[in-house]
Structure 1
Amino acid sequence: MPTATTRRHERRISPVFLAILAVMAVSGWAVWTDFASSPGVAIFLFVSAAWIVSLCLHEYAHARTALHSGDLTVGAKGYLTLNPLAYTHAVLSIILPLLFVIMGGIGLPGGAVFIERHRIRGRWRHSLISAAGPLTNVLFAVVCTAPFWLDALDGVPLAFRYALAFLAMLQITAALLNLLPVPGLDGYGVVEPWLSHGFRRKIEPYAPYGFFVVIALLFVPAIGGAFFDGIDALLQSLGVRPFDRSCGWELYRFWETAPEVCGV
């Protein structure tokens, strides 16, 4: 039986996460104050660190919801510490999504925390555990776009505005992709408890490949183009111009783009 001291240790925020949070805060300050000699470097660090923070919060939301739904093992696995190194698939959870941001400006959903589903009773609880992660990305996107849809951009430096726009695009992309009802993604986890046992058995062998099928489809011009046109339309409805998002992406790739291209 875990003691109170053990439970506190299992929920203590990891120094790894705090270090990433510190990088986000310092680099965000550097972008805001134009302290860095190269705004692109500061934007790269800020967006990358904020993206990793959001991935950690995504997985934490899954674990915390599972804890309150009956899986008391998530604490012992380190999932409540926000430590990205504790995840079952650290490469899929953190490294691969970050690489896709760097290479293509795509916010991909991450890999998984391992939830012991047999400990959880009730279909609604299973669905909520799966939905908790993408909803965290939605909340993160709301925060990033708030200055735009609240028309509160007076005094916000251009570089910080562009960084927020790009980060918002990553969050919206991750949320929408992860909510697709594709085996292996959270969207399928939401609907899976409501499917027949026989259907789930037929789909189960394909679950490990769903994530990679979605990635491959994004590189089909017609599908990828339509998807990102939809993302741009959603961002514009929130007050984020395509120019803001595009400049954020251009400045993020500081090794390819001169900052003067966006007037910073």
Structure 2
Amino acid sequence: MTTITGHTRVYGILADPIHHVKTPQVFHALARDEGIDAILVPFHARPEGVARLMDGLRAAENFGGFIATVPHKTTMLNLCDTVTEEAAQVGAVNCVRREADGRMVGAMLDGIGFVEGLRGAGIAPEGMRSYVAGAGGAASAVAFALAGAGVKSLTVTNRTRSKAEALCTRIAQTYPNLTLSTDPLDLAEQDLIMNATSLGMKPDDAMPLDTSQLHTGQVVAEAIMDPEMTPLLKAAKAAGCRIHTGLPMLQNQIRLMAQHMGAL
């Protein structure tokens, strides 16, 4: 894309806040490489206004769909007209296609993006003892994807423990043979540790997990893309861990998002 014209297809990303998102840059690089006449626009949508925004987007005939990120992934499940089986299983939506009649079709692609990002970096999750901090939309998608990738065990933690327990209950229904836990004290026993919370986006955020348990031999990964080096990743690097930033997760799902929205 070099010029926006009346033929340009419009897509969006909905978030609150919006300043940290990297999706427009990654999408536009894909559009350039594929020769797609499309643009992806950031929309700063607060939770109380996102339903009204979606009503407006339904009426925009040249609008193809949008990506949903924090804090809209779980609420988007009930705002879409229909969702994919994976999105229903996870309980969240991060990519929405606008059909020609204005209906919104939601999908969840965070999990596969994270797992493929790991594999692209030479990290095979199969057989790993894994730990996910968080129980929201992104965390749920990552947890299900790790379970599907064949991890040895999965620990899910959350500030509200009942949410972590509920997520583990859902995972157990699909993967009944997987060892599941919600105990944050077994962090030192893990091979792969993933922060799927928003803690780390702001300088004064608390750590999402107990960094004193980190040690050499562990892989510590982030969902956050800005800042690239969160306090967690800095602490993990200092502890001798291998670190995995948040950008590969987006880079590996952007093509799937473009396909779901009909851009490819």
TM-score band, normalised by the shorter chain?
Answer: under 0.3
Q: Larger C-alpha radius of gyration, 1 or 2?
A: 1
TM-score, length basis structure 1 = 0.27
Work out which structure has the larger RCO, using CA pairs closer than 8 Å and 6 or more positions apart in sequence. 1
TM-score, length basis structure 2 = 0.27
